[in-house]
Amino acid sequence: MNFLIGEPSVQLTRLINLDGEMNIPAWYSSVQWFCVAFLFGIFALRNVERSNGKSWVLILFPLMFLVFSADEVACVHEWMGSKCDVLLPTGNRRDTFFRATGIWFFVLGVPVLSSCLFVLSSTRRYFTMSTHVFRKMIVGIFIFFGGAIGVEVLSNIPDRHSFGSVLEIFLEESMEMAGVTVLFWAAHDLLLTHCFTWHLDAVTEVRPSPRLLPCFDKAIGKPFEEQHAK
């Protein structure tokens, strides 16, 4: 909308520009990633066992998501992307198809995507009682990287500041935010499936959802619904 009305305010454009840095969309994405990292961190702390080396892979999820959160405000991948230009035949991107993006997604994007899928496959056994969470995580990762890598490649086609360029940026950033939202949803469902509950204040009665009824307290061995009975 701001583009269609001619971007009347420079300050407003900088503040809401989806392709900008240190503005509302960037901060929003950073907070999204931080929340996802926080929820997966809770799950990791609950399930990592010192005697089980394989369980430590769970820590990689919150660490990766925390790095993604920092990257939204620190612009690390943009900086690394500019450094990757030296790998191009002419040493810069001006005379190549990748004049707008460079080749950061080959050097950095694909390896990071592969790492996410590797960690996901390595932790699959922790999703045996929540297969829907595993599916949501796969969907979220592919939506996010589909925008960050797949759609961003298209930004090399239209002229900068054209309607096509604005449309590409909108699609790319929307997919990235949607992907993180799906991961946030997956993390929330994962904690609920493993008997975590959310309370803002004290309550006299709790009515758990049907999905939580089979949960048992490990310490006293009582069913979830019995623990919260009057």
DSSP character string of 69-113:
HHHHHH-HHHHHHHHGGGGSTTSSSTTSTTTTTTTHIIIIIHHHH
pLDDT of residue 224: 37
Crossing angle (nearest 10°) for helices 110-122 and 131-145: 180
128-142, 148-162, 195-209: which has the minimum mean pLDDT? 195-209
- Residues 6 or more apart whose Cβ sits within 8 Å of residue 62: 37, 38, 40, 41, 44
| Tokens 């997919």, residue located | 175
Asked if residues 206 and 215 have their Cβ atoms less than 8 Å apart, the reply is no
Indicate the helix (H) or strand (E) that contains 114.
helix 110-122
How remote is the C-alpha of 163 from its chain's centroid? Answer: 27
At 44, is the secondary structure helix, strand, or coil? helix
CA distance 7 to 29: 23
45-49, 53-57, 121-125, 196-200: which has the minimum mean pLDDT? 196-200
Tokens of residue 149, six digits: 């890598």
CA distance 117 to 111: 10
Tokens of residue 219, six digits: 């310490």
- Residues 6 or more apart whose Cβ sits within 8 Å of residue 6: none
Tokens of residue 27, six digits: 């901060």
The model's confidence at residue 223, banded by pLDDT at 50, 70 and 90, is very low
- Domain limits, the chain: 25-196, 199-230
Kindly state the DSSP code that residue 148 receives in the 8-state scheme.
I
The model's confidence at residue 198, banded by pLDDT at 50, 70 and 90, is low
**Could you report the per-residue pLDDT of 42-100, keeping only the tens digit for each?**
999 888 887 776 788 889 989 999 999 998 888 777 777 778 777 777 777 777 788 77
At 23, is the secondary structure helix, strand, or coil? coil
Radius of gyration of the chain (CA): 22
